[in-house]
Structure 1
Amino acid sequence: MATVDELPNDVEALKRIIIEQQERHQAEIAAAVDEAVKAAVAAILRRYYGPRSESFDPRQLFLFGQQVVDSPLDMASVEEEVGEPLTTRRPRHKHGRQQLPEHLERIEIEHDLDDKACPACGCERCRIGAEISEQLEYFPASLKVLRHVRYKYACEKCDHDGYNPNIATAAKPPQPIDKGLPGPSLLAYVIASKLGDHLPLYRLERIFERQQVHIARSTMCAWMRHAGELVQPLIELMTERVRNSQAIHTDDTVVPIQSPGSKQCRKGRVWCYLGDAAHPYTVYDYTPNRSRDGPAKWLSGYEGYLQADAYGGYDGVYHSQNVTEVACWAHARRKFYDAQDSDERRARQALTLIAELYAVEREAKDADEAARLALRQDRSVPVLDRIKRWLDAEQEVVLPRSPMATAITYAQNQWQALTTYATQGFLNIDNNASERALKRVALGRKNWLFAGNDAAAENHARLWSLIASCERHKIDPQRYLTSVLAKIGSTPKEELGQFLPDAWKAEDAAEPMDQS
């Protein structure tokens, strides 16, 4: 900057200097705005038309004549966030026919010679062996009618003597829906099809019609409502167990709710709560809106660690209860990833530092809590210190409203919660588990579009809790639901623990399925 003595005394020259400075300043502002607009447009295009994963094949850059950047992409950290290994568009398959699973039923079909006479001498040929080949066949699922025959008895002597014949009828086992049409297996099939396989009821209606059986979708809605009410005590038990966890993962997503008299659906919310390894259940809860009353009510009385996003509705839980906030490094990383379009250099620096944290987590994945904590204290804490120094330095020089400033501000505001995971061996570095748990809700609403009302959405949340917890324990949800729906109606509340998915798997999974 020029000093006062260096400035000319000519008024016209001073005017020209002022005008030039204004033009340069306006050009800098215009460039910054243009950069921000380009970044916003690129982010929108990537969201709607780009790949869902935050990964790319560096070799594809050669298609556009661009040079691959020096630092390699950390594929392992991306796989950690996605929750599954990344594959190419054309996965390689093993050549040749694969061995069919041994658990499938084998049906022998024998093929014999029509003419066993020897073409040379005419004598009958003897059998010396057989060639066996296997073919996979599909037998469509079928509906069957169970006829409950309840025999009645009376006393002939009393009836002959003119007294009360004391008629008695054999009792029928309790059914999921009293005097209802569906058996436990059919009810479990409808529930698993809609909420597990995301199949709308109108499609199920067409599937049943192919077997010349008409079951209206409104009827199936009523069946699911009865099933949800039936398992409510079991969901309450699972909720109680999850609240006893040392750490809970939680997140929420939108569920469209049909609004009578309006062409548009209103937005309800489904929340998921994941218990720890000692309480391995996933419980869903529904609220008509996203107010803080929902998580505050569900988490009432809970003490421990709560891992969630930066939603302000959890602040009351952190401040009024003995609950420690644990933030998500995947959320922080995603903001730096989105800032690449406007500030690639800084974004890559941040992503490289975060990748070091995930490298430690991969190494500690199979270790016990004590070893994991020691590894984090030894290797992750120094990296966290470097990230904090980098954030403090870069915050002073980035444009205030740029995507990079947004990413840095988010990490700075969440810093204490972002570092909490390194203080305990049982905590996770991110909240991806709960995000994956909500994928079933997102997939479902793309198929059945909306819930009819708040009660239906609450019912979906209960049944999702059972299906998600089953899948967490690698249990067939339909088999589990069939067993639970057949027995839970006649089971005392104090014995409901046998229907918890882990207990059911350990004690009852080997039992034959009761079709009565």
Structure 2
Amino acid sequence: MSAPADLPFDLDSLPPAVREAFVAMQAKVTGLEAQTERQDYLIAELRHALYGKRSEQLPPDERQLAFEDLEMAVAEAEAARAALAERNADGKTRRPPAKRNLGHLPDHLPRIEQVIEPARKICPCGCTDMVKIGEDRAERLDIVPARFQVIVTVRPRYACRRCDAGVIQADTPNWLIEGGLPTEGTLAHVAVSKYADHLPLYRQCQIYGRGGVDLDRSTLANWCGVAAYHLGPVVDRMLIHLKRSGRLFMDETRAPVLDPKAGKTKTGYLWAVTRDDRGWGGGDPPAVVFTYAPGRHGRHAMDILTGFQGVLQVDGYTGYDALAEPKRVGGMPLTLAYCWAHSRRKLHDIYQKDGSEIAAEGLRRIAQIYKIEATVRGRSPEERLAARQAQSAPLIADFRLWLTHQRSRISAKSRLGEKLGYIHRHWDGLQIFLTDGRVEMDTNPVENTIRPITLNRKNALFAGHDEGGRTWARMASLIETCKLNAIDPYAYLRETLTAIANGYPASRIDDLMPWAFQKPSI
């Protein structure tokens, strides 16, 4: 920064100390202006990522990465700006004012107190020792990296001094892997790291290696397989519980699997069956069960839902159509309730690419229906149904007239005509929510449970075998159900595996459901 032309004094005429201070102040102002400009730019980028036009927003996973990078950059800019502001005129730094943390550190965390006493506690005048009249306390969060420990099981042997009646010794405790290295807590940790935190086994081996514990990836794979085998009956029982409901969601997502014979990956699928009655205050806890299948054919859905009767909420995939037909195997025909969110996406794709005003009008009409739906979420089925009949039904009727009119004007073979035709073909199923207060407008609950599968798929790339896909499905079922019920997946798996190792009776398997889990008191 150069001195202004109308400066009332000559910089060179100032005393050297004053001149140096003035130059230092100018440099400080220049730095602060640059940092403020960068900070404003980053904040604007962050706001755009949060509140920008929907057509410009990133997918959820990429958006989270963008948020992290932008927030880190903002923090870096703020730190640099604060460092400049905290310099005195002589260039020396002064201690910044204390900042109070937002939020509260949980009470259950252990506290380690560090008492910092003054170097001298004698009165400055030397008359006597000073006495404590109070204290200031400040809490900071400290993280200790994972600590490995070895559990040594000691079983003393006892014998009689006077006779040879024999030796007594306590029985060996029950372990899930008899004679193996891992505790049930270790098995739970490896599974949660892989299927909840999306850390492939080879990366876990690298982390353990830094702690001085060398474990082969195949060893961890073996542990996961054993745990999945013992948890299989629990997952099977979960699916039985879900199929007793009167309404379920279903969706499928890709699960690439290595095909050893072909030397490349093939496309398997994880089929998700979800129960989520929170939208209408239902008493059954939310849950999801994944089932691995080597393909996407509708027969897999038919097999999974054997015995289920009621309403099935799905997208427009034709593989579900046979479930609503009289020839359905495994039960009476189901009522298929289709998803308004998928219909909206069809129009949104057209609007995003072509700017179609017809698509924009369809989006506005659907948005009006969703506004009404937001006001009835969490209310009873009767209240939801009454509000829908009074407010949503007229909008749906108008939408049908608008849809018919637009389809008569637009070629069915055009891109927009195809999207409107999709809505028309699924019209009956799109209206189910108007006649049943338990039914949602879309399949978002099941799509939300599938998102972690996508993250795991990105990190692990593929499962090594069809059996790996089945293990993936079992672990994901338990972990995602724990999340839906605000339960720590590690605590649940550790206690459940311990119970199974100790011969938990099959007659009480319902007590092992994730939603029934009670964290043991410490």
Residues 428 and 54 from structure 1, CA distance in 2 versus in 1: closer, same or farther, beyond 3 angstroms?
farther
* Structure 1 range deviating more: 128-137 or 328-337: 128-137
The residue that corresponds to 2:514 in the other structure is: 501
State yes or no: 1:453 paired with 2:465: yes
Q: 2:247·2:310 contact (CA, 8 Å) conserved in 1?
A: yes
Could you tell me the TM-score, scaled by structure 1's length?
A: 0.78
Contact 2:187 2:224 in 1 (8 A): yes
For 2:248 and 2:491, the matched residues in 1 are separated by 28
Q: CA deviation at 1:279?
A: 4.9
Aligned counterpart, 1:292: 298
Q: Name the structure 2 match of 1:142.
A: 147
What is the aligned partner in structure 2 of residue 401 from structure 1?
413
Contact kept in structure 2, 1:343 and 1:404, CA below 8 Å? no
- Superposition RMSD in Å: 3.0
SS in 2 for 1:265: strand
User: Are residues 292 and 368 of structure 1, via their aligned partners in 2, closer, same or farther at CA, if it must alter by over 3 Å?
Assistant: same
Q: 2:125 aligns with which of 114, 120, 127?
A: 120
Match of 1:511 in 2: 521
1:214 alignment partner AA: D
Q: How do 1:46-61 and structure 2 match up within 5 A?
A: 57=52
1:98 corresponding residue in structure 2: 102
Instruction: Report the Cα offset of residue 315 of structure 1.
Output: 1.8
Identity %: 30
- CA deviation vs aligned residue, 1:444-503 (integer Å, no higher than 9, x gap): 011011111011110110111110110000011111111111112311111111111221
Identify which of 343, 349, 369 aligns with 1:332: 343
CA distance in 2, matches of 1:296, 1:304: 14
- The answer to whether the 8 Å contact 1:242/1:279 transfers is no
Number of residue equivalences: 434
Per-residue deviation, 1:116 = 2.5
2:512 is matched by which residue type in structure 1? F
Query: How far apart in 1 are the matches of 2:223 and 2:204?
Result: 13
Query: Residues 273 and 60 (structure 1 numbering): CA distance in 2 closer, same or farther, change over 3 Å?
Result: closer
| Alpha-carbon distance between aligned partners in 1 of 2:426 and 2:68, rounded to the nearest angstrom | 35
Contact 2:254–2:270, Cα closer than 8 Å, also in 1 = yes
Q: Deviations over 1:245-268 (max 9, x none)?
A: 111101001111112154421110
Partner residue, 1:22: none
Which of 357, 367, 374 lines up with 2:369 in the alignment?
A: 357
Q: Is 1:245–1:276's contact at 8 Å kept on the other side of the alignment?
A: no
User: 1:54/1:212 Cα in 2 relative to 1: closer, same or farther (>3 Å)?
Assistant: closer
Structure 1 segment 52-91 matched on structure 2, within 5 A: 57=52
- Shift in Å at residue 336 of structure 1? 0.4
The answer (yes or no) to whether the contact 1:241–1:279 under 8 Å persists in 2 is no
Q: CA 1:130–1:196 in 2, change beyond 3 Å: closer, same or farther?
A: same
Counterparts of 1:235-314 in structure 2, within 5 Å, are 235-277=235-277, 278-314=284-320
| Corresponding residue SS for 2:250 | strand
Aligned 8 A contact 1:246 1:276 in 2 = no
Query: CA separation of 1:264/1:54 partners in 2, compared to 1, >3 Å: closer, same or farther?
Result: farther
Residue equivalent to 2:485: 473
Q: Map 1:385-400 to 2 at 5 A.
A: 385-400=397-412
**Deviation digits for residues 303-335 of structure 1, max 9, x if unmatched?**
000111122221222112231001000000000
2:138 pairs, out of 108, 133, 137, with 133
2:202 is the counterpart of 1:202? yes
Aligned equivalent of 1:224: 224
- What do residues 271-324 of structure 1 show as CA deviations (whole Å, max 9, x unaligned)? 110124325221010001112221111101210001111222212221122310
Among candidates 440, 444, 457, match of residue 432 of structure 1: 444
Separation in structure 1 between the aligned mates of residue 55 and residue 310 of structure 2, nearest angstrom? 46
CA contact (8 A) 1:245 1:279 kept: no
Counterpart secondary structure, 1:396: helix
Bigger mean CA deviation after superposition, 118-127 or 446-455:
118-127
Deviations 1:217-236 (A, max 9, x none): 11111100000100111111
Corresponding residue SS for 2:409: coil
Counterpart amino acid of residue 265 in structure 1:
T
In the TM superposition, what is the alpha-carbon distance from 1:122 to its structure 2 partner? 5.2
Amino acid across the alignment from 2:450? L
Which amino acid in structure 2 is aligned with residue 243 of structure 1? K
Contact 1:309 1:328 in 2 (8 A): yes
Secondary structure, aligned partner of 1:130: coil
The DSSP-based 3-state class of the residue aligned with 1:438 is helix
Judge conservation of contact 2:285–2:515 (CA < 8 Å) in 1. no
1:80-134 residue CA offsets vs partner (Å, 9 max, x unmatched):
xxxx9xx9997899x8522431322211111223332333235322333222222
C-alpha separation between the residues in 1 aligned to 2:70 and 2:384? 37
CA distance in structure 1 between the aligned counterparts of 2:361 and 2:175, rounded to whole angstroms: 62
TM-score (norm. length: structure 2): 0.77
Greater relative CO, 1 or 2 (CA 8 Å, sep 6+)? 1
Alpha-carbon separation, structure 1, partners of 2:432 and 2:191: 39
Distance in 2, matches of 1:274 and 1:241, equals 11
Assess if the C-alpha contact under 8 Å between 1:342 and 1:403 holds in 2: no
Q: 1:118 is matched by which residue type in structure 2?
A: C
- Determine if contact 2:276/2:445 at 8 Å carries over to the other structure: no
**Structure 1: distance between partners of 2:265 and 2:288:** 27
- Aligned residue number for residue 495 of structure 2: 483
User: How far does residue 180 in structure 1 lie from its aligned partner after superposition?
Assistant: 1.8
1:348 is matched with 360
Q: How far does residue 207 in structure 1 lie from its aligned partner after superposition? A: 0.8
Residues 1:380 and 1:150: Cα distance change in structure 2 (over 3 Å) = same
User: Given that residues 412 and 421 in structure 2 are in contact (C-alpha distance below 8 angstroms), is that contact kept between their aligned partners in structure 1?
Assistant: no
